[in-house]
């Protein structure tokens, strides 16, 4: 296969970002996370802070009911809704689709699995883990009490779930959204990367 894309959705503390970085090195392809925001900002001319503020943040339930699907074209700067949350999302989706059209890559979060849904060369992955493992991993990055850390993890995952629901109409943790779901606590990060590559070898042909 000439091109492939791996999308990774992940619970906070599950190591999905680390796994994505490891896959990037093993497969010698680019890895995209927050730099997608910079690309969308550069192309649109919209201040990057607006993308950052809208990125995986909580909105009202009514907002979620209004914005379920990507598909609309991006708006022109003259449109009064040019900097709306929906248009910001559509710009990021446009960047994701353009990247998938021209190169093999790893894309973290941002409902990329849904944006690229139906493409034969896309493998969507969800990385999860039990509560204790998430707490242990998160504690390596944050100096918080156990109670504070628990609230922080819950907050981040809720934001991700709400973002996914708002823009796709589906539940973020529903295994049916993904090709492969991995418990990183049982496999470890290295083995997770190996399992993803093994799955790709079966589905796409030998990767390495």
Read off the pLDDT of each residue in 61-82 and give the average, rounded to a whole number. 54
45 Rama class: left (phi>0) / alpha (psi -120 to 50) / beta? left
Encode pLDDT of 38-71 as tens digits.
Answer: 776 776 666 566 666 666 454 544 344 444 444 4
Encode pLDDT of 113-163 as tens digits.
Answer: 999 999 999 999 999 999 999 999 999 998 899 999 999 999 999 999 998
Encode pLDDT of 93-120 as tens digits.
Answer: 888 998 999 999 999 998 999 999 999 9
Predicted confidence at residue 47, as pLDDT, reads 56
Domain containing 94 equals 5-204
Q: Structural domain tally of the chain?
A: 1
Predicted confidence at residue 119, as pLDDT, reads 94
Edge-to-edge strands of the sheet including 180-183?
Answer: 30-32, 105-108, 5-10, 122-128, 180-183
206 Rama class: left (phi>0) / alpha (psi -120 to 50) / beta? beta
Predicted confidence at residue 69, as pLDDT, reads 46
CATH (domain of 193): 3.40.50.300
């Amino acid at each position: 296969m000439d091109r492939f894309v791996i999308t990774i959705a992940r619970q906070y503390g599950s190591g999905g970002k680390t796994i994505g970085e490891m896959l990037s090195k093993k497969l010698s392809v680019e890895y995209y996370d927050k730099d997608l925001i910079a690309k969308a900002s550069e192309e649109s001319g919209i201040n990057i802070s607006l993308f950052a503020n809208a990125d995986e943040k909580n909105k009202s339930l009514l907002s979620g009911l209004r914005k379920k699907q990507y598909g609309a074209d991006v708006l022109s700067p003259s449109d009064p809704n040019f900097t709306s949350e929906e248009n910001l999302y559509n710009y990021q989706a446009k960047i994701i689709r353009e990247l998938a059209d021209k190169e093999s890559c790893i894309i973290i979060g941002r409902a990329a699995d849904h944006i690229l849904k139906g493409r034969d060369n896309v493998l969507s992955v969800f990385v999860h883990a039990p509560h204790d493992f998430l707490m242990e991993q998160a504690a390596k990055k944050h100096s918080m009490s156990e109670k504070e850390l628990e609230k922080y993890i819950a907050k981040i995952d809720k934001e991700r779930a709400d973002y996914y629901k708002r823009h796709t109409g589906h539940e973020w943790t529903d295994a049916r959204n993904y090709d492969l779901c991995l418990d990183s606590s049982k496999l470890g990060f290295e083995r997770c990367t190996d399992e993803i590559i093994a799955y790709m070898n079966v589905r796409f042909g030998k990767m390495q």
